[in-house]
A and B are shown apart, each in its own frame.
Chain A
Amino acid sequence: MQELIDLLTGAGREIFGPATAAFALAAIGLNVHFGLTGLLNMGHAGFMLLGMYGYAITVRETGNMWLGILAATVAAIVFGLLLGWPTLKLRGDYLAIVTIAASEFVRFLGRSQVFKDLTGGSTGIRGTDFKEPFESLSPFPDKLVTIGPFTMHGSRSSSWWLVVVAWVIVGLFALLFWRLANSPWGRVLKGIREDEDAVRSLGKNVYAFKMQALVLGGVIGAFGGVLFALANAVQPDSMGRPTTFWVWTLLLLGGAATVFGPILGSILFWVSLVTVRGLAGWFIPENVMSATEREPFSLVLVGITLMCLVVFRPQGILGNKRELVISG
């Protein structure tokens, strides 16, 4: 019985946990790219990682949280501009390859021995180096706090404070997405998603719009990275190709081009992951599947889910079939 309660609490915690919020935010950014504009950004982890590095390195050197946020924003903007300049003229699958290459490149540089002094190499940057300014603002007590069935630290790392801040930020950006998607600017992007040449023939500068979408979505992704770093640490390998694919999965799950799709998708994704791992541990004996095997097992299911989603229900849960982003 206790095991059931542990499973439920563990899964329940994922509904509002900071990682869920971080990924929801990243997915909102990807939603601007793919849901609104149809850009095949397969390197979203690169934006997230740059956000993390920008924030953590700046805070480590200056101790100022706001400068850190500024740095994360600037890093994302520059990366978006660099990425967009050659690729926005290319066709979809070329864009996909280049974005993967570019974000692997970022991870590579961060991970390499050469830049170790700046980025911490493959071990990354420890929490103690950059979390303090944020955590010092917390009104929560500096100890474990239990609310309902959930116990988390008041202010450190994955804390109640971070949960509150993270979801407020997610809410703000969801509102921003809603506002922009239903504006003339959003309308042009939707047109570009459908047919660029048609939009050009109506006098709009397609390249400029795509660049704006790329940069905006990238900045939002970077903030998602910052939230993730505040909950864990800055580690280049946590932002690799699989991470990008998870964000895609949870975006498509919830419903691309919808306002709440990224949020719903993130919640479902993390809850399911934890639940599957828990159930696997519960029902499958240790000698058939060891503890270390549970993680890849659950991720196999994630991969299969992504495939089935795209084939059978590309509009996700909340999506409108008539407004399918991926045409069948």
Chain B
Amino acid sequence: MIKTLDRRTVIRALIVFVVGAALLTIAQIAVGDSAAAAPAAGTETAIAQAADAAAGSADLTDVEDPSVVEEDPGSPNPSGTTSRPLQLLFNGIIFGLLLALASVGLSLIYGTTGLSNFAHGEQVSFGAVLTYFLTTQQPVGLPFIPNDFVIGLPLIPAALIAVAVSAFTGWLQDKYLWSPLRRKRAAMVQQMIVSIGLSLALLNLLQWWIGGRRLRLTTAIDERWTIGPIVVGRTALFSGLIAIVCLLGVSFFLLRTRLGRATRAVADNPSLAAASGIKVDSIVRLVWIIAAGLAGLGGILLGLYDQGTAFDAGARMLLLMFAAVTLGGLGQAFGALAGSLVIGIVVEMSSLWLSTDLKIATALIILIGVLLVRPQGILGRAERVG
């Protein structure tokens, strides 16, 4: 599955990226204030986002600044961290791993069915929101039901239930929406717009259900440990470990099990796979279940890592997910993993020289750059592109 990288294209992609980042930096210096102290801008953005979200507009700005690890805004060396680049690298790896959980599913769905699923962001948010619904001590309600109630389960059982329910929604979607559309031979454009409508409906359903405010998945205080030059939060570490275990599990499944190999075959070439006797419809159903489950898990872990989530947490990540998947090669699960790590690290480390609210911009530039020079991504095959 691993193809040799074409060195010239990687160099071209890097050039595009460097030029784009340089332009952004220049623009930033020329037009605006100098890069605001990163932590301050980080927290401000987070609060601004929550306020906007509460006001009702679906706020699609950047992901919360995970460098909230730095507790003392404004000071050049926030408590604990002695090496900002290494800290950001670590943050980037963790963030990349969590992003990978969400992106792998997106990539597999594309590979097996050709669908760019614009509703995947909501799949991520759903897992997080459901977990909040189950664990919070605040009263919560359901749409149309007048009374509020408290469920208050502990985090781990709630998370497991949420992941299971998320996986179930994947099954539901494929059974009642996507496979009927495929049987009707609906064009890709049609399916894509359906996913857009679904995204709109689900985003607003989540907002209707749980409101626009910021949601904390756990009220436990996060311990911080200092390991060498970096500060590591306990939740960050555990989220990362869980993500690694799950990603290893997925990799094992894809590489070593018969079902997994069949899945890769379908993702690579559905008609050829069907011709060799693989039951494509069952594989696709399985892919939807796995993708939705992983996305839900990703949403939960991200909600823990960011110390909070919201109805649009996933929507805000959608572009990052697409960037990761495109970078790695649409349809290549391992590409999605590689792409997510690259995006995670780049996004985090860009705050070394760019203001934090321009962080996402680097991911967008990568996305556009990759599509320019090598639309099939790092691992993809040229034939896939138009």
Of residues 87 to 132 in A, which have CB atoms within 8 Å of B's CB atoms?
Answer: 87, 89-94, 96-98, 100-102, 104-105, 107-109, 111-118, 122
- The reply to whether B198 and A296 form a contact with Cβ atoms under 8 Å apart is no
Q: A296-B208, A326-B187, A328-B184 are in contact. Are A96 and B57 (CB under 8 A)?
A: no
Question: How far does the alpha carbon of A80 sit from the alpha carbon of B322 in the complex, in Å?
Answer: 22
Q: How far is the CA of A249 from the CA of B201 in the complex (A)?
A: 12
Contact with A along B362-382 (1 / 0, CB 8 A): 001001100110010000000
- Residues of A close to B208: CB separation below 8 A: 293, 296-297, 300
Say if the beta carbon of B186 comes within 8 Å of chain A. Answer: yes
The residues of A that contact B198 with a CB separation of less than 8 Å are 303, 307
Given the interface pairs A117-B32, A237-B59, the reply to whether A98 lies near B367 with Cβ below 8 Å is yes
Complex CA distance for A172 and B375, rounded to whole angstroms:
39
Q: Of the candidates A91, A248, A301, A314, which one forms a contact with B196 in the assembled complex, judged by CB atoms under 8 Å apart?
A: A248
- Does B56 belong to the interface (CB within 8 Å)? yes
In chain B, residues 296-312, which have Cβ atoms closer than 8 Å to a Cβ of chain A? none
Q: Is the interface of B mostly helix, strand, loop or mixed?
A: helix
> By DSSP majority rule, is chain A's interface helix, strand, loop, or mixed?
helix
Q: Within the assembled complex, what's the spacing in Å between the Cα atoms of A303 and B201?
A: 4
Docked pose: A38 CA to B192 CA in angstroms: 14
Mask: chain B, 37-55; 1 = CB below 8 Å from A; 0 = not? 0000100100010001000
Known contacts A96-B192, A108-B360, A310-B194; A102/B59 CB under 8 A:
no
Q: Determine if A206 is an interface residue (Cβ-Cβ < 8 Å).
A: no
Size of the A side of the interface (Cβ < 8 Å), in residues, is 64
Q: Can you list the 8 inter-chain pairs with the closest CB atoms, starting with the nearest?
A: A91-B386, A303-B201, A306-B197, A303-B200, A114-B32, A307-B197, A296-B204, A299-B204
24 contacts between A and B (CB under 8 A): A86-B372, A87-B371, A90-B375, A90-B386, A104-B60, A105-B361, A105-B364, A108-B62, A112-B357, A113-B41, A114-B33, A116-B32, A237-B60, A240-B57, A241-B58, A241-B315, A245-B197, A245-B199, A285-B146, A300-B201, A300-B205, A311-B194, A328-B187, A328-B190
Task: Please give the residue numbers on chain B whose beta carbons come within 8 Å of chain A beta carbons, in ascending order.
Answer: 27-28, 31-33, 35-36, 41, 44, 48, 52, 56-62, 116, 143-146, 181, 184-190, 192-194, 196-205, 207-208, 211-212, 315, 319, 322-323, 326, 355, 357-358, 360-361, 364, 367-368, 371-372, 375, 385-386
Q: List 10 extra interface pairs beyond A101-B323, A310-B193, A326-B193, CB under 8 A.
A: A94-B386, A105-B361, A240-B60, A287-B146, A292-B56, A302-B201, A302-B204, A303-B199, A306-B194, A310-B194
On A, residues with C-beta under 8 Å from B are 40, 42, 86-87, 89-94, 96-98, 100-102, 104-105, 107-109, 111-118, 122, 237-238, 240-242, 245, 248-249, 252, 285, 287-289, 292-293, 295-297, 299-307, 309-311, 314, 326-328
